[in-house]
């Protein structure tokens, strides 16, 4: 079973990489970009065949390793 995790900084947390991208886009002539938030996508191939069990397993992975839950939020897709 495949799982995809989207990890983003929580609202209100400073995103220096996003700000650097926003500035670079402006320098390249892409005016009107007011904000950029940058995150990461993690794709997992799991041996688990039950979707609920896979989601629970990936949630534990996120809480323990894949996301810094103090400053990041995550969303899990199973499919």
- CA separation, residue 54 to residues 1, 17, 33 (Å): 8, 31, 37
Calpha distance 77→38 (Å, rounded): 19
The pTM (predicted TM-score) of the whole model is: 0.88
pLDDT of residue 19: 97
What is the mean pLDDT, run by run of 10 residues, along the chain of 79 residues? 98 96 97 96 98 98 98 97
Q: Which domains does the chain have, with CATH numbers?
A: 2-78 (3.30.1280.10)
| Confidence (pLDDT) at 31 | 94
């Amino acid at each position: 079973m495949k799982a995809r995790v989207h990890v983003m900084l929580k609202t209100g947390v400073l995103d220096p990489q996003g700000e650097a991208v926003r500035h670079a886009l402006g320098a390249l002539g892409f005016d009107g970009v007011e904000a950029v938030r940058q995150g990461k996508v993690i794709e997992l191939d799991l041996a688990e065949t039950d979707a609920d069990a896979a989601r629970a397993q990936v949630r534990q992975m996120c809480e323990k390793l894949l996301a810094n839950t103090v400053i990041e939020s995550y969303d899990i897709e199973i499919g």
